[in-house]
Structure 1
Amino acid sequence: MSETSIEADLTQSANARNAKERLYHGLLFGCATLTVFVTISIIVTLAIDTIEFFQMIDPYSFFTGTRWVLRSEDPVLGVLPLVSATLTVTIVSALVAIPIGTAAAVYLSEYASDRMRSVLKPALEILAGIPTVVYGFFALVYLTPWLQQLGLEVSLFNLLSASIMVGIMIIPMVSSISEDAMSAVPDSLRQAGYGLGATKFEVTTKIVVPASISGIFSSYILALSRAIGETMIVVVAGGSMARMFDPSNPFANLFNSGQTMTAAMVQAVTTDLSGGTPGYYSMFAIGLTLFAITFTMNLLSNHIAARYREEYQ
């Protein structure tokens, strides 16, 4: 084969390879652009309908009102009862998910054998694949009667059962992300601790966990963001009575029914409210408020991860 033909083959091969790279680049850029476009479209849609809502309802009364009564004529739309119920569910679910999820992550990362980890981690992550409506019915049919048998004066629909099930639902998110962060810590740090005479527990609590703290805190915030946006569990098990949080009697808020922001959005969609009414447009205002809360939490997660991230060579 002549040198001319060899150079032609090499040039043709390079051109084909460059064409494939340009095709891959275009496809990936298109996917990224589509994602950004969908996000912006959702925000714009919520903002337009929210502006329409605030032309009917005073924004100050919406953000500071302590009563939420959704009806066709003369509704009372104060978002604070919905926010307080949402925060109540989030805090209680965090008390359930964070200790259990973190302990599971520590065990999987530091104590479990490879065989045990290969069994337990997929089994734990199965919880993330269960439909949330199943969690809601489980809380309503099994968890609430069990709490009543323990002597707790909980109503049929209550925030306590809903919060516990939300906490169980987000355990896989806490444990999986935290375990990945702990596993990313170099073994050289562990061996250095053992070389100084530290026990396994001391290496775990004083070396591994502090070194992976950014990932662990990120998992907490992402899991809580998921809990804030949960819908079906609180709709099925939490009830639909909007109540303002009473600091003097916090158990009354847990043991009785309550309405979160997502549950109020479902109610606005499923009731017989006609389009164009304040009650109908209220779901867009709630949705934008909820988006602002979760977006702020995600920004906080990114800030914490960047602030406390450890880099290893």
Structure 2
Amino acid sequence: MIMAAPLAISLGDPAGIAPEVIAESWLRREEQALAPFFVVGGAGVLRAAAASREIDLPVVQISAPAQAAEVFGSALPVLGEEDCVPSFGNPNAQGAALALHSLTQATALALSGEAGGVVTGPIAKSRLAEVGFIQPGQTEFLADACGLPHDAAVMMLAGPSLRTVPLTVHEALAAVPALVTRTLIESKARIVARALARDFGLPAPRIAITGLNPHAGEDGRMGTEDRDVIAPAIAALLAEGLAVTGPHPADALFAAHARASYDVALCMYHDQALIPIKTLDFDQGVNVTLGLPIVRTSPDHGTAFAIAGKGTASAGAMIAAIRMAGECATRRAA
């Protein structure tokens, strides 16, 4: 098997829970069969975060990603000297600057091929904006770094029970109907199909597409978008040979028997996609960015400043994000 380069992990906001769950992920590397990884910056923060969980964390600072694999078995590799004073639960400009540096460097290493992919720790976007971050979020940052339009980077939430893709993401619910277009549905479905084939080993992924309205509109009695926009998009995708079905009433699509009939659900808006994944797989949910030339995953949770440094945050989603990035990177390397 061709092995991918080590994964680069961006630190996220050092005042949040990312440093401690990264430390625990390294501690559980063998138990969880994680691919080798290194963290960009924050050696002191990582040591302090590990101590808050009573983890004796050996850290070795490396000067090049290629050194990570040889270090990984006995210590957590950290690339570079950049660091800040630990301030768990109290985000500040110094920490935001470190988070932005870590994200920028980790992305560049994935683009150069020195890293097999990037796993991004959660950030506080308002804090990053104070130090020069101009994108709405990390997904858009990755798209810009790859030279792609923002709508070419597709968010997928993945867990052991379910994969979902929101067609529209951080939009007010009142704005969603006008944003649901045939072009957007067809474009995102194609990106999802290609990515699941390339990165997840599903050569003909089954895509279930939800309706927008209750009961998928009931043939226009509860809204016409399902009949006039979503159904024609599905017909066009079927004509291209994609394995798509729908529009499905969203209230029944996530029952256990229904989930067995598809590989991913393409949903019309944020909560339609995120409520089921967070209900079923909250501690193991992974945010995967599809459509990029690099592998990118992230735990599907935020900075959780309120519990940072208290030793109570679950590392499950970070472990799942690292595992998924390693699996995707290995498929691409092959």
TM-score by length of 1: 0.24
Compare CA radii of gyration and give the structure with the larger one. 1
The structure with the greater share of residues assigned to helix is 1
Structure whose residues are more often strand by fraction:
2
TM-score w.r.t. length of structure 2 = 0.23
